[in-house]
Amino acid sequence: MKLDPRTDLTFTRTIHAPRELLWACWTTPEHIRNFFVPKPHSIDACEIDLRVGGKFNTTMNVDGNIMENEGVFLEIVDGEKLVFTDTYSEGWKPAADPFMTAIIEFADGEDGTTTYTATARHRSPEARQSHEDMGFHDGWGTVATQLEAYAQSLK
């Protein structure tokens, strides 16, 4: 995948947990609630239909503000890659104001670790800049840290 620095944000981190466990965390609603947004914010609800075109819906609680996010999976490579977007909701219904497409990749690292890459692709340089200004690297970095801690608690 060729990234476009004008519209894409990405980072890679080594997570000290096996790839299979991280995959389970990312594909199970009960697990998503434990890491998907930086604490003290929370996920109040999550629905996953793990298939291309299947829903990936979350209800976020950010400082008491409820934010519904409906999306679909665009690509699934079992154990390796999830691509989802809020550009469409289930049934390929177009969103009025989409934000991004996310690509989460998992690769086996050394000694049971996982190389974890999170990429956010945006429709315009302005949307990308807005996401960076919102704190993409800190926020998604915090989520990766929370994911690692949560996955380690499941071992």
Question: Any idea what the CATH number is for the domain that residue 17 is in?
Answer: 3.30.530.20
The reply to whether 58 falls in a domain is yes
pLDDT in tens, the chain (155 residues): 899 999 999 999 999 999 999 999 999 999 999 999 999 999 999 999 999 999 999 999 999 999 999 999 999 999 999 999 999 999 999 999 999 999 999 999 999 999 999 999 999 999 999 999 999 999 999 999 999 999 999 97
pLDDT score, position 1:
81
Note down the domain range covering 35.
13-154
The reply to whether 8 falls in a domain is no
The reply to whether 108 falls in a domain is yes
The reply to whether 4 falls in a domain is no
pLDDT score, position 98:
94
The reply to whether 2 falls in a domain is no
The reply to whether 86 falls in a domain is yes
Count up the domains in the chain and report the number: 1
The reply to whether 146 falls in a domain is yes
DSSP assignment string, 34-94: TTSS-TTSEEEEEEE--STT-BEEEEEEETTEEEEE--EEEEEETTTEEEEESSEETTTEE
pTM for this prediction:
0.94
pLDDT score, position 44:
96
The reply to whether 43 falls in a domain is yes
